[in-house]
């Protein structure tokens, strides 16, 4: 029993030694990290110089920086702003592709139930344009497309949004291209064209704007 207690005491002493060494190593590492950012320990700052000792100039250490956290936050905010700008640029490029492809179909024939190429009905045109331009799949019914979009105010509309007409967008849809105009596919021998959406029969039938692409 005495041998067991002695062994236990030895193990405890060994453990204490290892823990102490680990703590010292951690403190040393922490001091080194703080020094890197310009902090000094209280003992280092207050310790008097030995009497008669000649101090040799050394490289200047960085000054303490009490504004380190605000600077860190500012760097984070700059990074987030850069990410937001990159996303906005990507969305804008996608909008441009949608509008360009919609305009490229001008003059194509209107055929009920057609979704391209070269022949379209209204929702077939918007379905074709979004699929080919940005890989976004839309249903082939204007009311079903209206159910999927984010509803936005006309004042907030951007080129590449969708514009809907009649009750709940059930009968007609076009690609908004800016300046109160859209590219749409209509019957009566007109086909795909640029149409105004205000000051005409369309303005009386207007339902609302819808967004597929995030602003």
Residue with tokens 């959406």: 197
Structure tokens at 75: 């760097």
Distance CA 197, CA 165 (A): 10
Q: Reply yes or no on whether 172 is catalytic.
A: yes
Known catalytic membership, residue 143: no
User: Would you list the DSSP string of 142-194?
Assistant: HHHHHHHSEEE-GGG--TT-EEEESGGG-SEEEEEEETTEEEEEETTTTEEEE
Annotation marks residue 184 as catalytic = yes
Q: CA dist 105 to 101, 136, 213, Å?
A: 7, 18, 21
Task: Provide the 10 A C-beta neighbour count for residue 171.
Answer: 16
Active-site residue, from 108, 121, 161, 184: 184
How many angstroms separate the CA atoms of 15 and 5, rounded?
A: 15
Provide the 8-state DSSP code for 215: -
Q: Which residue is catalytic, options 108, 121, 122, 161? A: 122
What 3-state DSSP class applies to 52? coil
Active site residues: 122, 172, 184
């Amino acid at each position: 029993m005495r041998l067991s207690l002695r062994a236990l005491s030895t193990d405890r002493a060994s453990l204490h030694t290892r823990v102490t060494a680990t703590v010292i190593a951690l403190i040393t590492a922490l001091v080194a990290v703080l020094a890197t950012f310009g902090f000094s320990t209280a003992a280092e700052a207050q310790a008097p110089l030995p009497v008669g000792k000649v101090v040799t100039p050394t490289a200047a250490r960085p000054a303490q920086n009490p504004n380190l956290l605000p600077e860190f936050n500012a760097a984070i905010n700059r990074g987030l702003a850069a990410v937001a700008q990159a996303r906005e640029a990507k969305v804008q490029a996608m909008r441009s592709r949608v509008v360009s492809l919609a305009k490229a179909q001008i003059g194509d024939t209107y055929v009920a139930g057609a979704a391209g190429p070269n022949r379209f009905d209204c929702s077939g045109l918007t379905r074709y344009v979004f699929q080919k331009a940005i890989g976004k799949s839309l249903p082939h019914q204007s009311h079903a497309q209206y159910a999927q979009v984010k509803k936005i105010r006309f004042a907030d509309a951007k080129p590449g949004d969708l514009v809907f007409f009649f009750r709940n967008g059930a009968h007609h849809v076009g690609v908004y291209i800016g300046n109160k105009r859209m590219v749409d596919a209509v019957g009566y021998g007109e086909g795909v064209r640029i149409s105004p959406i205000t000051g005409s029969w369309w303005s009386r039938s207007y339902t609302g704007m819808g967004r597929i692409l995030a602003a």
